[in-house]
């Protein structure tokens, strides 16, 4: 008997849940490659610390982008190394559930399955990210009650109306946390003539990022290179000024939420009217995003508990469906697919 695992291969972070144990891996989806001998020098947290700080001999790569695998070999190696740290090979090759964003191609799904199998897993099932997010947020997905979940991650924002374990309406867009970071970099360059790295931009966003003015009067000091003098420089950013670079992406997300609601069958709309919209994913914590969605829809908007880990927890909960797949008389299983 092996150990069953659930894997959330996120654009920003990879999380692994082990049946009976909980979340055992939660590390940046980053790999450092030694270019001299083409070997992997580090993965996860250790690799993330090297981001923007390497020499010409080392390359630091995010092997997933926009929720899908962009470098297959590196993803496979990353999962293998992260799993090795938590699953002993003595207890046998586990079964796994991995999640994938909605609206990805069969080829992209196949790449996830192959990367996970390549890490030594004998049987791989896939679950759609919004369904996993809903389960992780505590929604009972098997009832006919409609729920609306918006998972705002690093590379994608996945939203879906879910009922009876299936997706009724969904949208997946490649605008999420990374887009916010890029907008901060552009803003600082234009307004202060200063060049900052991705990590600095992300830290500024997490500390003072805001999409509604007047919520916070915090400031955050960022350091970078002055593009006029070429010298190191710093600026104190305020929460209010962050609205300027962040609002456009936030409004794009809000527009998709409105579109999804407009496309939802009326009975389910009624359910959502009562239960509201649930936000999951790391970027759901961006200050004011819930307020913007509430203003645009007039619906109650709640941020799930521990929003960043909802998807992996939901995947972990979906492990119970693997055994149901085995029962030939159970018919079509709408929640997970076996590959
Ligand atoms: N407090 C916070 N405020 C704003 N953004 C945050 C906060 N904490 C984390 N984030 C952002 O959340 C994003 C990561 O979220 P998450 O871990 O859900 O993504 P992921 O699952 O790796 O990506 P994806 O689901 O898109 O493939 C990053 O962009 C990170 O900067
Ligand atoms: Mg995610």
pLDDT averaged over every residue in the chain: 93
Cα 170 to chain centroid, rounded: 16
- Distance CA(18)–CA(60), nearest Å, equals 28
pLDDT at 327 over 70: no
What are 175-214's pLDDT values in tens digits? 999 999 999 999 999 999 999 999 999 999 999 999 999 9
pLDDT at 329 over 60: no
What are 295-309's pLDDT values in tens digits? 999 999 999 999 999
Instruction: Write the DSSP assignment of 262-311 as a string of letters.
Output: HHS-HHHHHHHHHH-EEEESGGGGSBTHHHHHHHHH-S-EEEPSSGGGHH
Atom of ligand 1 nearest to the CA of 177: 29
Question: Is the fold of 5-28+65-132+313-338 the same as that of 138-175+247-308?
Answer: yes
Specify the CATH number of the domain 5-28+65-132+313-338. Answer: 3.30.420.40
Nearest ligand to the C-alpha of residue 154?
Answer: 1
Q: Which of 66, 242, 283 to mutate for ligand 1's pocket (most ligand atoms within 8 Å of CB)?
A: 283
CB–CB of 248/182 below 8 Å? Answer: no
**Which pLDDT score is estimated for 162?**
94
3-state secondary structure of 240: helix
Give the model's confidence band at 85: pLDDT under 50 very low, under 70 low, under 90 confident, else very high: confident
Domain ranges of the chain: 5-28+65-132+313-338, 138-175+247-308, 177-245
Q: Which of 112, 154, 175 to mutate for ligand 1's pocket (most ligand atoms within 8 Å of CB)?
A: 154
The partner residues of 98 in beta bridges, in order of sequence, read: 7, 126
Ligand 1 is surrounded, with C-beta below 6 A, by 10-13, 67, 153-156, 176-178, 202, 205-206, 209, 281-283, 285-286, 308
CB–CB of 282/12 below 8 Å? Answer: yes
CA of 93 to the centre of ligand 1 (A): 30
Give 218's contacts (C-beta < 8 A, 6+ positions apart).
Answer: 207, 208, 238, 239
Give 117's contacts (C-beta < 8 A, 6+ positions apart).
Answer: 124
pLDDT at 334 over 70: no
Give the model's confidence band at 280: pLDDT under 50 very low, under 70 low, under 90 confident, else very high: very high
CA of 266 to the centre of ligand 1 (A): 32
- Distance CA(49)–CA(104), nearest Å, equals 30
Q: Radius of gyration of the chain from Cα atoms?
A: 21
CATH of 138-175+247-308, picked from 3.40.50.720, 3.30.420.40, 3.40.50.1000, 1.10.10.10, is 3.30.420.40
CA of 282 to the centre of ligand 1 (A): 3
- Distance CA(272)–CA(148), nearest Å, equals 6
Q: Which of 82, 132, 282, 285 to mutate for ligand 1's pocket (most ligand atoms within 8 Å of CB)?
A: 282
Atom of ligand 1 nearest to the CA of 152: 18
CA of 92 to the centre of ligand 1 (A): 33
- Distance CA(224)–CA(27), nearest Å, equals 26
What are 112-153's pLDDT values in tens digits? 999 999 998 989 999 999 999 999 999 999 889 999 999 999
Reported CATH class of domain 177-245: alpha beta
- Distance CA(198)–CA(204), nearest Å, equals 10
Ligand 1 atom 4: the closest Cα is on which residue? 286
What are 232-262's pLDDT values in tens digits? 999 999 999 999 999 999 999 999 999 999 9
CA of 8 to the centre of ligand 2 (A): 7
Ligand 1 atom 8: the closest Cα is on which residue? 282
Bigger pLDDT: 87 vs 327 = 87
């Amino acid at each position: 008997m092996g150990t069953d695992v659930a894997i959330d291969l996120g654009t920003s972070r990879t999380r692994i849940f082990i049946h009976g144990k909980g979340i055992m891996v939660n590390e940046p989806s980053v790999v450092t490659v030694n270019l001299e001998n083409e070997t992997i020098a580090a993965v996860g947290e250790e690799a993330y610390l090297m981001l923007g700080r390497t020499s010409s001999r080392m390359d630091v790569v995010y092997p997933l982008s926009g929720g899908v695998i962009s470098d297959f070999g590196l993803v496979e190696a990353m999962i293998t190394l992260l799993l090795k740290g938590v699953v002993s090979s003595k207890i046998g090759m586990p079964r796994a559930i991995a999640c994938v964003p909605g609206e990805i191609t069969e080829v992209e799904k196949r790449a996830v399955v192959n990367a996970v199998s390549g890490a030594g897993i004998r049987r791989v099932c896939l679950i759609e990210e919004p369904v996993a997010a809903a389960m992780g947020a505590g929604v009972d997905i098997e009832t006919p009650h409609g729920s609306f979940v918006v998972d705002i991650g690093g590379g994608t924002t996945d939203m879906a109306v879910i009922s009876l374990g299936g997706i009724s309406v969904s949208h997946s867009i490649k605008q999420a946390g990374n887009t916010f970071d890029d907008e901060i970099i552009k803003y600082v360059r234009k307004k202060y003539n200063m060049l900052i790295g991705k990590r600095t931009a992300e830290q500024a966003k997490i500390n003072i990022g805001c999409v509604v003015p007047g919520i916070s009067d915090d400031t955050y000091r960022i350091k970078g290179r002055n593009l006029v003098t070429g010298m190191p420089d710093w600026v104190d950013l305020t929460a209010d000024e962050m609205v300027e670079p962040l609002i456009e992406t936030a409004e794009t997300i809000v527009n998709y939420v409105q579109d999804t609601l407009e496309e939802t069958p009326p009975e389910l709309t009624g359910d959502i009217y009562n239960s509201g919209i649930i936000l999951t994913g790391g970027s759901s914590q961006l200050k004011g995003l819930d307020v913007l969605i509430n203003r645009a829809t007039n619906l109650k908007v709640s941020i799930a508990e521990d929003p960043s880990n909802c998807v992996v927890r939901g995947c972990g909960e979906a492990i119970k469906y693997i055994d149901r797949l085995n029962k030939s008389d159970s018919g079509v299983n709408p929640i997970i697919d076996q590959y």
